[in-house]
Amino acid sequence: MRSDAVKKGMQQAPHRSLFNALGLTEEEMNRPLVGIVSSYNEIVPGHMNLDKIVQAVKMGVAMAGGTPIMFPAIAVCDGIAMGHTGMKYSLVTRDLIADSTEAMAMAHQFDALVMVPNCDKNVPGLLMAAARVNVPTVFVSGGPMLAGHVKGQKRSLSSMFEAVGSYAAGTMTEEDVKEFEAKVCPTCGSCSGMYTANSMNCLTEVLGMGLQGNGTIPAVYSERIKLAKKAGMQVMEMLRRDIRPRDIMTKEAFLNALTVDMALGCSTNSMLHLPAIAHEAGVELDMELANEISAKTPNLCHLAPAGPTYIEDLNEAGGVYAVMNELNKKHLLNLDCMTVTGKTVGENIEKCYNKNPEVIRPIENPYSQTGGLAILKGNLAPDTGVVKRSAVAPEMLVHEGPARVFDCEEDAIAAIKGGKIVAGDVVVIRYEGPKGGPGMREMLNPTSAIAGMGLGSSVALITDGRFSGASRGASIGHVSPEAAVGGPIALVEEGDIIKINIPENSLNVDISDEEMAARRAKWQPRQPKVTTGYLARYAHLVTSGNRGAILEIQD
């Protein structure tokens, strides 16, 4: 066993003395040591219940003959971090989580790991760590929040942000906003729509790293506790069979994930996280594959914010495996990929049927014949930009309008709420990319303000930053190269005509190559916004959004 390096032989007597200090018995030391990576904390609603999940996992490991030992991972609540300097610290935690988990797992030589994440950067960060450490690993998340109920309708966090915009527009009273505030987030769990946390938890099932239901069983259901016990037992079976993350997270598994991403209509953030996880697994995942996959993958789900259904509804309809079985009717998945169950994808989904065609459209009757996300390119985004096509109003799929240019999120919000943005405009927010932000802030506040002001079907927003999974509308993010490195988005001027054509995957500014070159010759890099601490180091090492904002030593 790997842990023999800290348990066996005379040289390890000092190590054993420290295990004795932990209260471990000789019997426990003779069993495999299983690290339980707990993301529990008291500030993130999606994580406040993880102590219960961890205890269940530990019981499962012990029942199956292992010795469970918990250690922590951090997590940021994107909702609480939204709209202020805290959002600079969201994406950057993905790498802190991966690095610290790798350090703990390697320093203590665990034989296997069970990852217990839930929210936005926590899930991909731990998947990155799993690929690096490459010992048998199972994921079990804390589960999604139940939808809120306001005035007889299901609601979620995105409704809350849009309510603030509606109040600014004078279409909602302060009392209305307070009712939303009290009711949209009624339980613990990851926020209830197909936002980033739930997107990544669902895709963890598709990748084969989580058991069935990992992405959809609500946080408050007792079934979630049972799932956690099964995860603890299953990691011991993986250890016995020596099934490791890199056996599971293959190129074919990532292509499956991209395919199901298109069918579910996941958050645009998955286009940042999947390449970063793949990179750690030794797989190069070119994001331009997304359009190729989208072209042949129907969009089967319109979960909030794209539509009126929620993760709890997807769970009742059969969950992620039911979506996969629908896709399999057109042979869109690789069924031979290994999973944490010890079975293949094909074996896992064989008897998982769609129980609600209103939540999961049959593949013969999709919302659209193409997938939920689109990668755009053009002279404004030579590398790429990303849009959640399934959440764009039909009339905005093709749009031309004048650029309204802002060099930070705050200035854009002030203009939107001040009534200075009108129908037809294209809001451009730049210097918010991975380097320029630094940290690539989510733009949920401006997109929600646009929707709340009644401009969601007439105003587009383009940024080198990114969007929350709760964003909807013609919101194009991850524009690469970013402004901070001199990308064309830095050269756009007020009033330039921006041309968006999502069906043709294009994003252009209507100026000549000569004019673009002239502007580039005059452009000067800006001084970094942050010069000390972790953000400064992050800005120095981070790559562009189209590469997943991975960190690497750069010349």
Which residues touch 32 (CB under 8 Å, ≥6 apart)?
1, 3, 65, 66, 67, 111, 112, 236, 239
Q: Please tell me the distance from the alpha carbon of residue 344 to that of residue 252, in angstroms, as a whole number.
A: 12
- Tell how strand 475-480 and strand 497-501 pair up: unpaired
Residues with catalytic roles: 468
Q: Is the dihedral of CA 384, 392, 259, 365 positive or negative?
A: negative
DSSP 146-192: PPEEETTEEE-HHHHHHHHHHHHTTSS-HHHHHHHHHHSS-SSSB-S
**Distance, CA of 303 to CA of 309 (rounded, Å):** 5
For residue 139, the cross-strand partners are 115, 210
The C-alpha atoms of residue 445 and residue 201 are separated, in whole angstroms, by: 24
Residue 318: DSSP 8-state = T
CA angle 406, 408, 414 (to 5 degrees): 70
Rounded Cα distance between 212 and 204, Å, is 10
**Residue burial 203-218, b: 16+ Cβ < 10 Å; e: rest:** bbbbbbbbbbbbbbbb
**113 close to 61: Cβ distance less than 8 angstroms:** no
Measured from the Cβ of residue 336, the count of other Cβ atoms closer than 10 Å reads 11
Report yes or no: 476 and 500 within 8 Å, Cβ to Cβ: yes
Nearest to 376 by CA among 206, 545, 253: 545
Contact 117, 123 (CB under 8 A): yes
Cβ 360 vs Cβ 260: under 8 Å = no
* Backbone φ and ψ of 328, nearest 5°: -65, -20
Rounded distance between C-alpha atoms, residue 171 and residue 555, angstroms: 53
Which DSSP string corresponds to 247-298? HHS-HHHHHHHHHHHHHHT--TTHHHHHHHHHHHTT----TTHHHHHHHH--
Give, in order, the Cα–Cα distances in Å from 357 to each of 203, 300, 409: 21, 9, 39
70 φ/ψ angles, rounded to the nearest 5 degrees: -85, 140
DSSP state of 237: H
What the block records as the tokens of 200 is 């990544």
* Spatial distance between the Cα atoms of 421 and 418, rounded to a whole number of angstroms: 8
What is the separation of C-alpha 443 from the centre of its chain, rounded to a whole number of angstroms?
14
